[in-house]
Amino acid sequence: MPRPMKYRIVNGHPVTNVFKPAGIPQRQLEEVLLTLDELESLRLADLEGQYQEEAAKHMGISRQTFGNIVESARKKVADVLVNGKSLRIEGGYVDLSNLPFMCSDCHQKWNIPPGSPVSQNCPNCGSDRIHSV
Ligand SMILES: [Zn+2]
């Protein structure tokens, strides 16, 4: 059984979720999976230049856990760049509670309470055409 993991706070979704070397069909490429929390760790540590202490607080996790996540993320990105693999960004234990969602069909807006699973459907009309705002 996988050990229970803490939800991690991630600010928003990446716009594009697959990166691949140009000119090579996807089926010939080995794919590396980067989770949303790993992406967020790279954003905080490498793009914003935050110290691990600060970045860990940002994501609601311990400094050591943050260190493990960012190390894993850097290894994956290096593997993709050095070995010419494709990179898919998805999944991971993330807390989207700081993101209000909106339904594309009925324009209902709502927030997801911390710790609850992310619903894929609008609570008002049941549409799956939802997006974060
Ligand atoms: Zn709706």
The CA 129 to ligand 1 mean position distance, Å, reads 8
Q: Please list the rounded mean pLDDT of every run of 10 residues in the chain (133 residues).
A: 53 65 89 88 94 91 94 97 90 59 87 59 85 72
Which two tokens mark 75?
């290894």
The CA 116 to ligand 1 mean position distance, Å, reads 19
How far lies 122's CA from each of 5, 7, 87, 119, in Å? 26, 22, 30, 8
The CA 125 to ligand 1 mean position distance, Å, reads 4
What pTM, to 2 d.p., does this model score? 0.62
